[in-house]
Amino acid sequence: MKDSVKDLYVSGKSIDELCTALNISRQTFYYHKKADFKRGIDWDALKLSNLRSEEELENKEALFVNSLIQNYEKFLQEAGTLSPEHIENLHKFAKTYWSIKAPRQINQKEIELKTAKLTIKSIAELAISHKQNEVANWLSQNAEAIILKVVKSDKN
């Protein structure tokens, strides 16, 4: 249940939508969210990361740069020569653009969490391929405890 709540939230569903879809109260939603946060799983960070897909950013950047070039060419045609004030404004604009374009801050917890989940999944798949179903079942049943142990021990 908790994973369904988190998955819907991270995928972009509103709290009201997911509460209705899963027939739970807002209290239940916040209970699960807070419990995960105490374990180092930040749903809001995961949601933000999910909404920032690289493809989406590239499309927005292309539109922005195209608009920038068109407006700059129009400005040059109307302005004639550039005054020191125009050059200063252009410099400020370029600096602002760079601050937007600069790589976003890396969420180390998110990377550790994804790595731990992928590792458990890979080991479980390997166990199944070698007909070690007991190992795969044990990993499945204890995945959260393993992840918590890995994430916590990594901090020490």
pLDDT single digits (tens) 42-53: 888 888 777 666
Instruction: State residue 38's pLDDT score.
Output: 87
Most distant pair of Cα atoms in the chain: their distance = 77
pLDDT: which is higher, 139 or 61 = 139
138 and 122 together in one domain: yes
Instruction: Using the predicted structure, report yes or no on whether residue 24 has a pLDDT greater than 90.
Output: yes
pTM > 0.85: yes or no: no
Beta-carbon count within 10 A of 113 CB: 20
Q: Is the distance from CB of 57 to CB of 51 less than 8 angstroms?
A: no
Q: Domain boundary residue among 50, 65, 80? A: 50
45 and 68 together in one domain: no
pLDDT: which is higher, 17 or 67 = 17
Which residues form the domain of 32?
Answer: 2-50
91 and 118 together in one domain: no
Measured CA to CA in angstroms, residue 3 lies from 64, 80, 124, 152 at distances of 37, 60, 19, 20
d(CA 142, CA 136): 10
d(CA 89, CA 87): 5
Q: Is the distance from CB of 120 to CB of 146 less than 8 angstroms?
A: yes
96 and 115 together in one domain: no
119 and 150 together in one domain: yes
28 and 65 together in one domain: no
pLDDT: which is higher, 123 or 82 = 123
Could you give the number of structural domains in the chain? 3
- pLDDT mean over 127-151: 86
- pLDDT mean over 30-46: 88
User: What is the per-residue pLDDT across 105-116, written as a single tens digit (0 to 9) for each?
Assistant: 556 677 777 888
User: Which has the closest alpha carbon to 32: 65, 4, 71?
Assistant: 4
148 and 118 together in one domain: yes
Instruction: State residue 50's pLDDT score.
Output: 72
